[in-house]
Structure 1
Amino acid sequence: MATKQYIAKYHQLKQIYERELGKEIADITWYRVVATLKQHFNFNVLGSDANKIVETFAGFKRRYGSFTGRGEGFSERWQAFRHFYEMDAQYQGGEFLKLLAEHLKINLDDVPRSTRYYWFEKAGLSFSAENIYHCKDLALVAFIAAKWAINRRPQPIKSATISVLTLAL
């Protein structure tokens, strides 16, 4: 059974989320958001960092729309984010792209130049190969780039049975 303190904080966090998101949400949606936060962010409604986590998550959701924590490839994208976020380092833009390509197992030559700029732009940064960036800022670039990398991978053929192939003829 939830305590009065828990219920009050739960509703307060929902209001913070709605304010940051810029719209009201259904109670079931908020329930799912809390479940996602608990699964991926070690979230505790009564935790001292609960407000900050909710604000940050809502900001990502407002900015990127499909930032739900449930979509295909989210775990891999989240892993890329955490990989760079947990580093305490700074990199030049070009150096970071090489590290990112290595982490995502992509060939940097296959990434159009405009796409690289797009990754940084979506993360709220301006790209320059010579600029120095902190890894905490680059983590969001990695999250965005991971989606691109996942979408570019060859998709497995779902069915190659003879019966399906004969239907195509």
Structure 2
Amino acid sequence: MATKEYIAKYRQLKLLYERELDKQIADITWYRVVATLKQHFSFEVQAVDAQKIVRAFAGLKRRYGSFTGRGEGFNERWQAFRHFYELDTHYDGRQFLEILADYLKINLDDVPRSTRYYWFERAGLSLSAMEGHHSKDLALVAFVAAKWAINKRSQPVKSATIEVLTLAKPSRKLQVASRKCTHD
């Protein structure tokens, strides 16, 4: 059973989260947020750094939107985030993209320029070859890019060769129509 101190701190943290997001949330939503924080941040409601973690997570949620901790590929995306967040270095835009592509096992030439800019924009950063960013700031870029990489890997390979097209069966309507023509 929860103590009065725990319940008071739990509610205080919910209010802080709502203030950071600038909107109210349902109790069940807050319960899920706390579960996500516990799973990925070793979060404890009564810990000294609880407010700092809630504020940081709300900032990520506000900047990124669907930073929920659930959904397809979240763990892989979270790993990319943590990898760059735990580094303590600076990268210029081009250097970071090359390191990120290597980390995600993607070919940077396959990534449209607009997509690269989108990754940085979602993280509230600008993509510039000259401007450097700290790896902690680039961690969110890695999180966004990992989603693209996951989606790219899961796309089926499409083939438009003539052999494939000739092997395709005609539709039922086409078969009926062709029979009518031959019987007339």
Asked if these proteins are the same fold (TM beyond 0.5), I'd say yes
Deviations 1:78-120 (A, max 9, x none): 1001101111111221111000000001000000111111111
- Which residues of structure 2 form unaligned runs of 5+? 158-168, 173-184
Alignment of 1:12-91 (within 5 A): 12-91=12-91
Distance across 2 between alignment mates of 1:131 and 1:38: 35
1:121 paired residue number: 121
What letter matches 2:104 in structure 1? L
Residue 154 (structure 1) shift: 2.9
What letter matches 1:115 in structure 2? T
What letter matches 1:10 in structure 2? Y
2:101 paired residue number: 101
Distance across 2 between alignment mates of 1:148 and 1:141: 11
- Which residues of structure 1 form unaligned runs of 5+? 158-165
Whether contact under 8 Å (2:63, 2:123) holds in the other structure is no
Residue 145 of structure 1 pairs with residue 179 of structure 2: no
What letter matches 1:33 in structure 2? V
Residue 24 (structure 1) shift: 1.3
RMSD: 1.8
Q: How many residues align?
A: 160
Question: Secondary structure of the equivalent of 2:91?
Answer: strand
Deviates most, 87-96 or 8-17: 87-96
Deviates most, 61-70 or 139-148: 61-70
Distance across 1 between alignment mates of 2:29 and 2:114: 35
Question: Secondary structure of the equivalent of 1:47?
Answer: coil
What letter matches 1:39 in structure 2? Q
What letter matches 1:19 in structure 2? R
Residue 156 (structure 1) shift: 6.7
TM-score, structure 1 length as denominator? 0.88
Q: Percent identity?
A: 75
TM-score, structure 2 length as denominator? 0.81
Question: Secondary structure of the equivalent of 1:126?
Answer: coil
Distance across 1 between alignment mates of 2:55 and 2:133: 23
Deviates most, 106-115 or 62-71: 62-71
Whether contact under 8 Å (2:63, 2:124) holds in the other structure is no
Residue 62 (structure 1) shift: 2.2
